[in-house]
Amino acid sequence: QTLPNSSETVTEVRVEDDRTGLSVETLKRAFADNLFYIQGKFPQIASKNDFYMALAYTVRDRLLRRWLNTAETYSRNASRTVAYLSAEFLMGPQLGNNLINLGIYDQVNQAMQELGLDLRELLEEEEEPGLGNGGLGRLAACYLDSLATLEIPSLGYGIRYEFGIFDQDIKDGWQVEITDKWLSAGNPWELPRPEWSVEVKLGGHTEKRADEHGNFKIYWVPNQVVKGIPYDTPILGYKTNTANTLRLWKAEAVESFDFYAFDSGDYLGAVHQKTVSENISKVLYPNDNSAQGKELRLAQQIFFVSCSLKDMMRIMEQQKVPLEQFPEKFVIQLNDTHPSVAIPELMRLLVDEYDMPWEKAWGITKQSFAYTNHTLLPEALERWPIGLFGKMLPRHLEIIYEINKRFLDEVRMKFPDDTDRLRRMSLIDESGERYVRMAFLACVGSYSINGVAALHTELLKKDVLHDFYEMYPEKFNNKTNGVTPRRFMVLSNPRLCRLLNSKIGDEWIKNLYELKKLEAFVEDPEFRRQWREMKLEIKQDVADYIKKTTDIDVNVNSMFDIQAKRFHEYKRQHLNVLHIITLYNRIKANPDIDITPRTFLFGGKAAPGYYIAKLIIKLINSVGDIVNRDPDVRDRLKVVFLKDFNVKFAQRIYPSADLSEQISTAGKEASGTGNMKFALNGAITIGTLDGANVEIREEVGAENFFLFGLTTEEVYALKKEGYQPWEYYQKDPELKLAIDRIASGFFSHGDPKLFKPLVDHLLGNDQYMLLADYRSYIDTQDRVSEAYRDIDRWVRMSILNVARMGKFSSDRSIRDYCEDFWKVQPVNIELKEYVQATA
Ligand code: GPU
């Protein structure tokens, strides 16, 4: 409120509104108000969580005006909108990020201080929404941040899992899974919108019947109906007024079922029905890069996809955009194939429910979808057994058959007399048990198909989707992944940011290529000293954390050598272990050997059903138990497994790395995004020519990157000529000794059985070719050790890595998507004091 200026001499007095004001005084008052009126507590009896909640509501109030202004502007302009469909959004904690993006971190910090509270402690209180497994879900979250920052109208659509990714504990060296009760203390960031609930049909059968005009139509008679309730979370851009929406669907029973059951007296039956419905959004499937083929998972997919499409149609109706203009109003990005039933579902809605002719509906559908592929691993490519699919989605199966029939006609026309091609490309795999091939469906129903790094896109074209590339070359394009510098630099690494800002200003936060300007300072010894000191302080923080959580002492002058990511054989954490054992063996053979001290840090979860991945975690802990205690080692090597790697923890750990381990078998990691987060925080990468490593190396320069291992072509060639891991084992004494020590029970209290499955994998077929890459890896690690001894050289490399990583901002990725095929324009949001209420 502004008091009117009655005369020239009266100074303007601004009274800040308690729900929007950003001054320290107003923030303090609003905080006290929320503690009292929302948490219902006075300071003397308030818990830390009460304080966190009061602060969260204080920040949310300040978001709401932006959020409503944004929604109002979008609906008034009927702006073209990106709908990002994803089964996972790995958002991480919201409070800190919102403070950064609102630009009030410092004011809030001061306000809390003046109230005798510690902002950092309150930030720690937040239970993060871990609604994703790893890279794919985190990428979706980074993209939402960039979409809002670039002022692009967009909606994220997904599932509001009651249980996100499990919490990981370690007992006796083994992973133990604990359910993630992230909602138990309440979620201040979401608003339920029950008035926009929708119903989704499942199961049953289809019938052909005449409608009221005597025309024959297909009717789907389901045997289950569930209700989807949207829960909205605001996604604020960095220093813009734009606040977009993440809309997550919660499954509930429809009321009609309750009434029906009560009438018939089946009270327990009604309650049971409720449980069955609610199960759909109960839990996130904890698999990364592997398809499960479970009925409930398919139910989750159709559930959130159908809710989201109906929501888009509701929005169009409200904005009076005719359905024919669906592709002008929305572009739907499919985050992998998990939401790809959206293609037959949109067809079903248009043809069955809106009586649109097939050709017209197909024209709309084909122009509305774009598909991102995130993996080349065969076990991760989704296929649904026909039986299971038809039982859950009988009408969708018919529609897929029709799409397939017309598609195969097209293939026949383009490639006459090529029956093998028809068999290869059919949406239905008929080589044994029949399956629906979801990646192929996504290719046929989308106007764009992209990979997530240059190499990955090339391999898609050459290999996994080669036939589709020949059929539709114009659809294929690359969009190299990126990460948001707001969360993964500004929020997580304040020390680095202060140093950067003091030299190059803060433009880099919105335009990451600005980091280039750092190169001018690499020859400045004072700057290098500051850089080194900064890194040391960060490492000290992490060392304190390690001491507190594991009671292990680590030396901050040792090299922090970190591998933090999901556990998977293709990511080869066990190759890293072979290096650790090799160094240990060298010390055992010669205790006085001069080696570069290292602290090996691991973090990451294994899928609960992935036995070998869990065994690798056990191996790391077992090796750590020996190495950390052996007096011969004299603290020169430390092995630490940090449990429960999640977004909060990732933010803490990335800044402390000297060396980033990106050591997957070439051709297996689609892109990787952890590789980017490490390098942006000044770590040097040791890596293979895989995924985005290739482009990182191109950007930072080969002399600032430690490359090793076979190339993708060499991997293929070696496989073809008959790879014999045993020969590598026989020929390389260091390798042989490392494996023998695992096999003999040296790290398992003399029990040779414990790690036998792992040893058998390596000496048997060694699918991911660790043995073939071992020597190159070890020799390169020796060069790394050498380089680290020249600390000044290392600091130069570190600075140059940061300076040259500008390409890997998710802002750049999102700009590429917008310009290349989304064709969406930014919409500026003006902040009005009040949103006009209309009847
Ligand atoms: N990715 Br498919 C996952 O995290 N989970 C999955 O189920 C599938 C892919 C990852 C890729 O492994 C990683 O290389 C990539 O950077 C990331 O998706 C985002 O594109």
Nearest residue (CA) to ligand 1, atom 7: 289
- Site to probe by mutation for ligand 1, drawn from 86, 88, 136 as the one with most ligand atoms within 8 Å of Cβ, is 136
Catalytic residue status for 571: yes
The answer to whether 648 and 93 are in contact (CB under 8 A) is yes
State in Å: Cα 479 to ligand 1 middle: 14
User: Per the residue annotation, which of 310, 571, 598, 614 is the catalytic one?
Assistant: 571
Nearest residue (CA) to ligand 1, atom 8: 289
Mean pLDDT of 247-272: 79
| Residue 175 CB-half CA count within 13 A | 28
User: Per the residue annotation, which of 160, 539, 677, 741 is the catalytic one?
Assistant: 677
- How high is the ipTM of this complex? 0.98
The answer to whether 667 and 462 are in contact (CB under 8 A) is no
**R_g over Cα of the chain:** 28
State in Å: Cα 303 to ligand 1 middle: 22
**Pick from 341, 339, 344, 319: nearest CA to 329:** 319
- Site to probe by mutation for ligand 1, drawn from 292, 375, 662 as the one with most ligand atoms within 8 Å of Cβ, is 375
Tell me what pLDDT residue 458 has.
Answer: 98
State in Å: Cα 533 to ligand 1 middle: 35
Tell me what pLDDT residue 319 has.
Answer: 97
State in Å: Cα 223 to ligand 1 middle: 35
State in Å: Cα 101 to ligand 1 middle: 27
Per residue in 178-198, pLDDT tens? 999 999 999 999 999 999 999
43-to-33, 51, 785 alpha-carbon distances in Å: 11, 8, 53
Cα 736 to Cα 752: distance, rounded to the nearest angstrom: 16
Catalytic residue status for 677: yes
Cα 4 to Cα 400: distance, rounded to the nearest angstrom: 65
Q: Which amino acid is at 615?
A: L
- Per the document, the length of the chain is 839
**Pick from 371, 305, 288: nearest CA to 604:** 288
Q: Which amino acid is at 160?
A: R
478-to-115, 691, 816 alpha-carbon distances in Å: 51, 12, 9
**Pick from 144, 190, 160, 136: nearest CA to 284:** 160
Nearest residue (CA) to ligand 1, atom 9: 374
Tell me what pLDDT residue 563 has.
Answer: 99
Q: Read off the DSSP letter of residue 278.
A: H
User: Per the residue annotation, which of 484, 673, 688, 712 is the catalytic one?
Assistant: 673
Tell me what pLDDT residue 627 has.
Answer: 98
pLDDT tier at 256 (50, 70, 90 boundaries)?
A: low
684-687 vs 706-707, strand pairing mode: parallel
Mean pLDDT of 212-236: 95
User: What is the number of the ligand 1 atom nearest to the C-alpha of 290?
Assistant: 7
DSSP 387-447: HHHHHH-HHHHHHHHHHHHHHHHHHHHHSTT-HHHHHHH-SEE-SSS-EEEHHHHHHHH-S
Return the percentage of the chain with pLDDT > 70, whole number: 96
State in Å: Cα 135 to ligand 1 middle: 5
User: What is the number of the ligand 1 atom nearest to the C-alpha of 566?
Assistant: 4
Residue 15 has pLDDT above 80, yes or no: no
As given in the structure block, the two tokens for residue 726 are: 């045993």
- Site to probe by mutation for ligand 1, drawn from 84, 90, 289, 373 as the one with most ligand atoms within 8 Å of Cβ, is 289
Please report which helix (H) or strand (E) contains residue 262, including its range: helix 255-263
127: alpha, beta or left? (left if phi > 0; alpha if psi -120 to 50): beta
Tell me what pLDDT residue 267 has.
Answer: 79
User: Per the residue annotation, which of 348, 437, 535, 565 is the catalytic one?
Assistant: 565
Nearest residue (CA) to ligand 1, atom 6: 289
User: What is the number of the ligand 1 atom nearest to the C-alpha of 456?
Assistant: 14
Tell me what pLDDT residue 837 has.
Answer: 46
Tell me what pLDDT residue 262 has.
Answer: 63
Tell me what pLDDT residue 788 has.
Answer: 98
Catalytic residue status for 565: yes
pLDDT tier at 3 (50, 70, 90 boundaries)?
A: very low
User: What is the number of the ligand 1 atom nearest to the C-alpha of 139?
Assistant: 19
Mean pLDDT of the chain, nearest integer: 96
User: What is the number of the ligand 1 atom nearest to the C-alpha of 289?
Assistant: 7
Cα 529 to Cα 3: distance, rounded to the nearest angstrom: 52
State in Å: Cα 670 to ligand 1 middle: 7
Nearest residue (CA) to ligand 1, atom 16: 672
Top-ranked range on mean pLDDT: pick from 7-16, 207-216, 363-372: 363-372
Write out residues with Cβ below 6 Å of ligand 1: 133-136, 139, 288-289, 336, 374-375, 380, 452, 481, 669-673, 691
User: What is the number of the ligand 1 atom nearest to the C-alpha of 138?
Assistant: 19
154-to-77, 137, 479, 597, 694 alpha-carbon distances in Å: 14, 17, 18, 48, 31
Give the list of residues 6+ apart from residue 592 with CB closer than 8 angstroms, or none: none
Residue 839 has pLDDT above 50, yes or no: no
User: What is the number of the ligand 1 atom nearest to the C-alpha of 452?
Assistant: 20
Mean pLDDT of 124-146: 98
Residue written as tokens 């190299």? 480
Backbone angles phi, psi at 157, to 5 degrees: -120, 130
Tell me what pLDDT residue 838 has.
Answer: 47
User: What is the number of the ligand 1 atom nearest to the C-alpha of 372?
Assistant: 20
The answer to whether 673 and 135 are in contact (CB under 8 A) is yes
State in Å: Cα 137 to ligand 1 middle: 8
State in Å: Cα 338 to ligand 1 middle: 12
Residue 211 has pLDDT above 90, yes or no: no
CA quadruple 730, 732, 736, 738: dihedral, nearest 10: -160
Tell me what pLDDT residue 265 has.
Answer: 76
> For the chain, which domains are there?
80-92+128-381+438-481 (3.40.50.2000), 485-808 (3.40.50.2000)
Q: Describe the strand order of the beta sheet including 706-707 as a list of residue ranges.
A: 637-642, 598-603, 559-564, 659-662, 684-687, 706-707
Tell which wins on pLDDT, 215 or 814: 814
Query: Three-state secondary structure along 767-780?
Result: CCCHHHHHHHHHHH
Residue written as tokens 């992209």? 450
Alpha helices of 590-654 — where are they, by DSSP H? 611-629, 647-653
Per residue in 213-223, pLDDT tens? 888 999 999 99
Catalytic residue status for 673: yes
Tell me what pLDDT residue 2 has.
Answer: 44
Catalytic residue status for 731: no
State in Å: Cα 564 to ligand 1 middle: 14
Q: Read off the DSSP letter of residue 293.
A: -
What's the burial of 810, exposed, middle or buried (CB within 10 Å: 0-12/13-18/19+)?
Answer: buried
Per residue in 562-620, pLDDT tens? 999 999 999 999 999 999 999 999 999 999 999 999 999 999 999 999 999 999 999 99
Per residue in 411-451, pLDDT tens? 999 999 999 999 999 999 999 999 999 999 999 999 999 99
27-to-24, 30, 65, 114, 732 alpha-carbon distances in Å: 5, 5, 16, 11, 65
Catalytic residue status for 566: yes
As given in the structure block, the two tokens for residue 166 are: 């499990």
Tell me what pLDDT residue 274 has.
Answer: 85
Cα 664 to Cα 715: distance, rounded to the nearest angstrom: 12
Mean pLDDT of 380-390: 98
Tell which wins on pLDDT, 45 or 211: 45
Residue 201 has pLDDT above 90, yes or no: yes
